[in-house]
Amino acid sequence: MKRALQKIAILALVLATGCVQVLTGAKTGVEPLVRDFDSMPVEAATIVSAMAVQTLTPPLEEFGSVTFAPGVQGLSETGLAKEGFGFTGAALFAFSESSANRPGLTAAEIEYTDALDRRATFLARAEYQRAGEGYEVTRLEVQRSYADAPKVRVFVVPASDIPAKSIGSHAQLTALLADKALSPADYGNASRRAYAVFAVGRDWVAPGSELDIAISAKKAGRSGYDKATKSYMVNGWPVAVTVGEIDPRKASEALYAKVLFRRGSGFGAVSQHVGTYQLAGFGK
């Protein structure tokens, strides 16, 4: 009952205050009204489509049957479009259908993904009115949405294959690591040498968040050696790397990378275990 009341209160704030930030409550227990784009009411889906396109392009005056009033625009994350991101889904969190005498409201979380299996999400809220056979958006708010815990890929790369200079964008880093990393077939022939172990987040995370890598001979738990780990952010995606000597061929000596994630910074920020990845000792 308490959770249901919290949901009603948050949705009421969305409708009454126009504050898109309250939608972040969706990440802490509030369920969407509709979980997938194809199941949305036609009006809501029409508005979400326009918001989704507007977010990845320079400000638009119209999209399909939706026009944007002068000066109305959200974010223009054109860099995502250049990197190959496309709309892949949305969840509806608030909806008030419009009529000839009443404006409408649609609030949703919009998802984009790319060929590297990275994900970027936004919270978007539009107020609009009927305009002939279509709709005119009179107010639009869009902000980035952050994962509670990102999906992570781990790459084991010979340290000598990592360029000394900055690799560039997150996409370039991911592509380079995918090209240079050991594949399962490589482990039998890999020699003992210095390797860089990268943990690369595939979801945007809140500012101040970070990944950590703890190296351990034990699979259980979350503890291990993490003093050599360097953590940083690349345009909102978290990355961590540690370098050390590994002999991937030794089947009798297991070695694991435990990836931890701390969301945000400041008081109350705690780390959580998001994955354990075996680096050596595949005979055990």
At residue 189's C-alpha, the angle toward residues 183 and 193, to 5°, is 90
- The CATH number of whichever domain residue 261 belongs to comes to 2.60.40
Residue type, 266: G
* Count of domains for the chain: 2
Q: What is the pLDDT of residue 87?
A: 96
Residues 162 and 267 in one domain: yes
Residues 56 and 18 in one domain: yes
Q: Between the CA of residue 134 and those of 39, 61, 128, what are the distances in Å?
A: 20, 13, 10
Q: Give one word for 84, left, alpha or beta, with left for phi > 0 and alpha for psi -120 to 50.
A: left
Q: Give 271: exposed, middle or buried? Use CB within 10 Å, 0-12, 13-18, 19+.
A: middle
Domain finish residue from 94, 125, 145: 145
Residues 135 and 259 in one domain: no
Residues 101 and 224 in one domain: no
248 Cβ neighbours under 8 A, 6+ residues apart: 156, 182, 186, 187, 190, 195, 279, 280
Domain finish residue from 83, 117, 145: 145
Residues forming a β-bridge with 135 = 66, 130
Residues 200 and 72 in one domain: no
Residues 64 and 160 in one domain: no
Residues 122 and 28 in one domain: yes
124 Cβ neighbours under 8 A, 6+ residues apart: 20, 48, 51, 52, 55, 74, 107, 108, 109, 110, 140, 141, 142
Residues 162 and 272 in one domain: yes
Radius of gyration of the chain (CA): 23
Q: What is the pLDDT of residue 210?
A: 94
Residues 185 and 260 in one domain: yes
Domain finish residue from 113, 145, 177: 145
- The CATH number of whichever domain residue 30 belongs to comes to 3.10.450
Residues 180 and 246 in one domain: yes
Q: What is the pLDDT of residue 267?
A: 67
Residues 128 and 183 in one domain: no
Task: Split the chain (284 residues) into runs of 10 and give each run's mean pLDDT.
Answer: 38 46 48 95 98 93 95 89 94 96 96 94 96 96 93 94 84 92 83 93 93 93 88 92 88 86 79 90 62
Full residue range of the structural domain in which residue 139 is found: 2-145
